Amino acid sequence: MVNDPNRIFDVEIIGHEIVDKHVEYHIQCTQSARNWTIKRRYRDFIQLKDELVPLGVELELPPKKFFGNTKEEFVSERQVKLQEFLRRVACHPFLFCSPTAAQFFELSEECLKNYENYILFAARNNPSYRLKRLWHACGWRYYKMHAELTDSEPHNDNDYVLTWMSYGPDSDGTDPRKRANLTCDALKFLKELPSNYFAKNLLASADERGVHTISNKLKKGNMRDFNFMVQPKDSFLKKYRLGTLNSVFNDNYMVKEIVHFTRQLIEIIKLFDSMDYPFYNFHCGNIVLAENGLISLMDYEFALTGHSNSDREALKRSKARTVQEMRIFHLGATIYEFLTGSITVPYPEDMDELYEHLPREFRQILALIFGPGTEMPTTDQLLSLPLFRDATQVELLEGKSFQIPIHVQNLFKDMSRRIERRLEQEREELRIAKETAKVQRHLSSDAEKQRRRHIIQEHLKRMQPKTE
């Protein structure tokens, strides 16, 4: 199975050496079953920090020193602070999955240059379009790339966006050619869905390397771009600063708007449920807002690549077990983003502290999704809430029907099963890790140390030779 590039990984500086009067730090990286070692100099750490600073995360490095910077005592002290810096970077995919960080950590066993070649190949393979520029950093993950295209005919001046994404851990890679053919058939089916609630691409295709689409360039971008008032092509790290809450949805009018947006998303979820489609990752970054208050979903085709998302750690701590329930979880995450502008999803156990800061109208639905218990609410249970009592009814298909080819339906079901199975495995790993940490904390506690010390002392007393 392909390694999940979004998975939190361990990084540890295990040593250093002096090379040409410079210190090279040996860094051990472990992600899932993959282990590798990299060597980096202090200047590499500086370059990485400079790239990540715009995201708004506090990342500190030890100060630069021009003289005596190879002395063992100084290097050892600096190594401790560099280790803390790496620990911070490795804690969230928004940081370590950026192209710059991925190169620093050598996260991909495949050269990142190959990914750039793949999107260039996709551009050249469509003669109706001409490449204008690559958008190197507009997304947060290195394995999803974007480029701006224009018409190949000189008298036309339209702009388009080419998006390419590699296959991920939930995709069946046993037969790459068969996978590509099945994915192409699935993309054809999705393109023909009779609904305006899905943003239609001009082209969607797949090969043995990944999936790519060509779509019209959005003037205002997606809903997240609109919220942050940025351009789609801008750097992700600069567009969406972590910790920046753009709460533009505060007055009564916008509450009604969010209810309407949420109502539409629930209908999309119900349609995906009926299709067994393996898409679950709703967020403001893949929602497009039309002038009439309607929304449309974009990038839903890339669910066929089998990648998880940046909020994987929060999802593992949720009640969601099936793909249907994962959609409900991400509906809650999207509502939270609607209300706060935050692009990170809180852990469910942290939501109790956040409810009082959110509009009261949405506290009940968020509590049902993120609150304690073992069952995730269904779409029907959500629609029965007072929140949607006066909401405008939504007709997704407008009386139209569709039929899913059997082999496409089987592809959707197989991928959904793999998604659920991997989530269950990771959740079990998390449970074991928590239990292990709990035992370690207990063993290192003062009370436990005192108890063991007392046992040893009593044992030693009994071992003393008895005097006649």
**pLDDT by residue (tens digit) across 396-450?**
887 788 999 999 999 999 999 999 999 999 999 888 877 777 767 766 677 766 7
Pick from 405, 145, 189: which is nearest to 304 by CA?
189
| 246-283 pLDDT tens trace | 554 545 558 889 999 999 999 999 999 999 999 999 99
Secondary structure of residue 31 in the 3-state scheme = strand
Contact 30, 3 (CB under 8 A): no
Contact 342, 453 (CB under 8 A): no
Distance CA(119)–CA(429), nearest Å, equals 35
pLDDT at 116: 86
The token pair that represents 35 in the structure block? 């282990």
Cα distances (Å, whole numbers) of residue 119 to 126, 166, 169, 172, 205: 11, 10, 20, 22, 12
pLDDT at 250: 47
| 187-246 pLDDT tens trace | 999 999 988 899 989 999 999 999 999 999 998 889 999 888 888 888 888 888 775 555
The token pair that represents 247 in the structure block? 């709460």
The domain over range 112-422 is classified in CATH as 3.40.50.410: no
pLDDT at 214: 96
DSSP3 helix / strand / coil % (the chain, rounded to 5): 45, 15, 40
The domain over range 10-105 is classified in CATH as 3.40.50.300: no
- Of 64-68, 187-191, 319-323, which gets the smallest average pLDDT? 64-68
Pick from 159, 157, 158, 178: which is nearest to 167 by CA?
178
End-to-end Cα distance, the chain: 71
Tell me the percentage of the chain whose pLDDT exceeds 70.
91
Alpha helices by DSSP H, listed for 195-316, are 223-228, 236-239, 252-275, 312-316
pTM: 0.88
Angle at CA 314, nearest 5°, toward 308 and 320? 80
Taken as a whole, the chain contains a residue count of: 468
Pick from 347, 257, 239: which is nearest to 295 by CA?
257
* Segment holding 188, helix H or strand E: helix 176-191
Secondary structure of residue 208 in the 3-state scheme = coil
- Of 44-53, 113-122, 130-139, 453-462, which gets the smallest average pLDDT? 453-462
Contact 96, 89 (CB under 8 A): yes
Distance CA(336)–CA(319), nearest Å, equals 17
Distance CA(59)–CA(350), nearest Å, equals 23
Q: Tokens 């803390």 label which residue?
A: 84
